[in-house]
Amino acid sequence: MNRQIVILTLATLALAACGSAPQRTVETRSTPAPVEDRVVGPAAAPAATGGYLAGDGPGADAPANLDEIPDAVPKNEPLHRYANRPYVALGKTYTPLTVAGSFKERGIASWYGKKFHGQRTSSGEVYNMYAMTAAHPTLPIPSYARVTNAASKKSVVVRVNDRGPFLHERVMDLSYTAAHKLGIVGNGSSEVEIESITANADTNILAKTEPVQSRPLEKAEIAPDSAPPAALAAVNSNIYLQLGAFKTREAADSFVAKMHAELGEIGKQISVFIKDGLTRVHIGPYASQSEARSSADSLKSKLGFKPMLNFH
């Protein structure tokens, strides 16, 4: 009997020891983006407030000049180390693209706002609903895309830095500002065309937004009372920097409007020429080639690309 008691006692102690031993935690890799559905269609909220997920919305401190916020400027950037790996969201496997510029898609886009403002995106960057960004399931991160409202034909260029959406067969979630410029904030979603684009100083056509100022194709005259000193000193020079070359006047006008918004006073030196069948946007003139090259280096930090030296 005593032996049985001893055996039972030892067995009980062994079980207790096993129960209190630390358990090894199994690490799991999370998906590159939250699988929570973000912006849903118009039926999710009353039309008066726009179509967005409960708790989300445009925010109370939206800038007054949303129309003047410039589009994203495509530039060459290294792909994110982790955000372009295959991943699973809501039971579906996604394989992100690793090359930009060869992707077109048509479908429903929506937007996400204050509920996610300030949170981390799949790229690790903080989401800013007032920047020109977007989320896409498979486009490279980071990369750039031209998004066109299929109904109104308004277009914007956005920087893809997040993953999603994953529900309701949407193809892209836009930032609040991008959706505003496309005219889809009130509806919550709209059919769009998405085209992946790459950085190219000559063909970087930034699509039109409203309002766009139409300008003549001839060289713009520089008013003496408003021209910067550098322009007055070089008024007889034929040395310019080329900001872009476009196949259509509409694309050139849109680009000029954007450059005026980004460059401020410097933008007064912008002029438009037609040469070799292309509408070319130039800035200048400059007194010397060295001055033009110095200006090109300075403009690179502002625009994300380096203008080319050009002669008339």
Fold classification of 229-311 (topology level):
Alpha-Beta Plaits (3.30.70)
Amino acid at 291: E
Percent of the chain whose predicted confidence (pLDDT) is above 70: 71
pLDDT in tens, 223-242: 333 344 444 344 467 888 88
Q: Sorting pLDDT into bands at 50, 70 and 90, what band is 52?
A: low
Cα(64)–Cα(44) distance, integer angstroms: 26
- Whether 176 and 130 have beta carbons less than 8 Å apart is answered as yes
Domain with CATH 3.30.70.1070 in the chain: 229-311
Helix (H) / strand (E) element for 246: namely: strand 239-246
Query: Which range scores top for mean pLDDT: 56-65, 90-99, 219-228, 303-312?
Result: 90-99
Q: How confident is the model at residue 246 (pLDDT cuts 50, 70, 90)?
A: confident
Instruction: Locate all alpha helices (DSSP H) within 109-224, ordered by sequence.
Output: 176-182
Q: State pLDDT tens for residues 92-118.
A: 999 999 989 889 999 999 999 898 999
In CATH, the number for domain 42-197 is 2.40.40.10
> Which range has highest mean pLDDT (10-19, 136-145, 217-226, 227-236)?
136-145
Is the predicted pLDDT of residue 208 greater than 70, yes or no? no
Q: Which tops the pLDDT comparison, 133 or 268? A: 133
Ranges 145-154, 208-217, 298-307: which has the least confidence: 208-217
Residue 268 burial by CB count (10 A; 0-12/13-18/19+): exposed, middle or buried?
Answer: middle
Which residue ranges does the chain devote to CATH 2.40.40.10? Answer: 42-197
Q: How confident is the model at residue 85 (pLDDT cuts 50, 70, 90)?
A: very high
Kindly state the average pLDDT of the residues 122-129: 93
Q: Residue 53: which pLDDT band, with cuts at 50, 70 and 90? A: low
Supply φ then ψ for residue 245, to 5 degrees.
-135, 135
CB under 8 Å to 241, separation ≥6 — which residues?
Answer: 282, 283, 284, 286, 292, 295, 296, 299, 307, 308, 309, 310
Q: What pLDDT score does 42 carry? A: 34
- pLDDT bin (cut points 50, 70, 90) of residue 312 is low
Can you give the pLDDT at residue 38? 42
User: For residue range 176-193, what is the model confidence (pLDDT) as tens digits?
Assistant: 999 999 999 888 889 999
